[in-house]
Amino acid sequence: MKKVEIESLVKSFILFFISQLILVGALFYIDYKREVQTLDATIFSKMRICSFDLICQEFEIDFASLDKVELYKLYKDKNSLSSYFSIPGSTENALKVYLPKEKYESDVQILRSALLTKFMVVVFVIIILSLLFSFYTISPLRNALRLTEEFIKDILHDFNTPLSTLRLNATMLKREVGENSKIKRIENSVQNILNLQSNLRAYLINHESQKEKFLLKEFLEERVALLDKNYPKIKFSIEVPEVELETNRDSFARIIDNILSNAAKYNRVDGSVELHYENKILEIRDSGKGIKHPKKVFDRFYKEQERGIGIGLHIVKKLCDELSIDISLRSKLQEGSSFFLNLSKIS
């Protein structure tokens, strides 16, 4: 299940579960209050019977001044539940029938336990219903994602034939007319499409479990060598010790290629791109234009230049999350940008 599907499932579950829990909790609270009132009414009825026959097994009996109490009313205080009844022939005293608070609390506790058991059963049912509801609500999203992915895969597959034709004809044309700036632009454009194709494949396929070990410095030298030919006026430097990584090589290559490509593409003339490793953090620093809104660069479709479609760094962030790499950015306009990759979990 993809991250967006899990997020939708969790949010749907929480929304449905909390709303139903509040509703059921309110109903049980009302029911609890009604049960307590019924218990109080039952106790008061038993007290009245006790006042007639004085056979009071669960109650205590006492006397109270008649002018200080109200007859035939149930009183609750911190020590007891009590009620007062008239004594035939007496105008000064009243009969006090009372139940010690401990016995009353015991009855209330039994009531609470019974209601709590019912409440927990209902909560369990709500959890099951919430899960079913959540899976049901995200099914359209899952179908839409599946159809979108299949469509993109079909498009990527259909790209292969025209791209192969373009590359073949560009190579043949170069043999006929020699090196030419227009042919070079065609080749660069084809390569950009191939890079986009690779990015989309990396976005669609999760390779997190396919790990392998490789040397970071050797790996970075390979990636820089592939890019260096397209940007001869950019100076690349690598200051990385012999560090071994264990992660998915292809996904990590997509991360590095995207960052290096942006660092070179949006750099100034005779600019530089520096790769530095220290304390398990790989820094990729450029002397380019800088980024106006660094916090937005990982958002899908966000871009500050006319070129591109704004998914490169979004894919970088997605792949970093999959590989457990913490990525951060520091940038200043007209001075350059620095990307920081925390490799502590894979080195």
Q: What is the mean pLDDT of each run of 10 residues along the chain (347 residues)?
A: 78 92 94 92 90 84 85 88 87 88 90 93 94 87 76 72 80 80 77 72 61 91 85 89 89 89 87 92 91 82 66 84 90 90 90
* Coil, strand or helix at 336: strand
Structure tokens at 129: 């219903």
Structure tokens that stand for 150 in this block: 């299949």
Spatial contact of 334 and 230, defined as CB atoms under 8 Å apart: no
Q: How far apart are CA 286 and CA 296, in angstroms?
A: 19
Tell me the β-bridge partners of 141: none
- The predicted model scores a pTM of 0.51
User: Can you give the pLDDT at residue 158?
Assistant: 72
Q: In what order do the strands lie in the sheet with 235-239?
A: 235-239, 272-278, 281-286, 336-342, 326-332
Residue 189: the pLDDT is 76
Residue 72, φ and ψ in degrees, nearest 5: 55, 45
The DSSP secondary structure of 14-34, one letter per residue, reads: HHHHHHHHHHHHHHHHHHHHH
pLDDT of residue 91: 79
Q: Kindly tell me the sign of the dihedral angle through the C-alpha atoms of 309, 312, 314, 319.
A: positive
User: What does the pLDDT read at residue 306?
Assistant: 61
Q: What is the pLDDT of residue 27?
A: 94
Q: How high is the pLDDT of residue 239?
A: 92
Tell me how far apart the alpha carbons of residues 275 and 286 are, in angstroms, rounded to a whole number.
9
Cα dist from 113 to 16, 26, 76, 108, 217, whole Å: 26, 17, 22, 9, 66
Residues of CATH 3.30.565.10 domain(s) within the chain?
210-342
Non-local CB neighbours of 151 within 8 Å, separated by 6+ positions: none
Q: Are strands 80-86 and 93-100 parallel, antiparallel or unpaired?
A: antiparallel
3-state helix, strand, coil in the chain (%, to 5): 55, 20, 25
Q: Which of 236, 242, 232 is nearest to 224 (CA)?
A: 236
Between β-strands 212-215 and 93-100, what pairing exists: parallel, antiparallel or unpaired?
unpaired
Residue range 193-236, pLDDT digits in tens: 777 777 677 666 654 557 889 999 999 999 898 888 778 888 99
The phi-psi region of residue 325 (left if phi > 0; otherwise alpha if psi is between -120 and 50; otherwise beta) is: beta
Chain centre to alpha carbon of residue 260: 29
Q: 150-177 burial by CB neighbour count: b if 16+ within 10 A, else e? A: eeeeeeeeeeeeeeeeeeeebeeeeeee
Beta bridge mates, 342: 281, 326
| Eight-class DSSP state of 296 | G
**Superfamily of the domain at 210-342:** Histidine kinase-like ATPase, C-terminal domain (3.30.565.10)
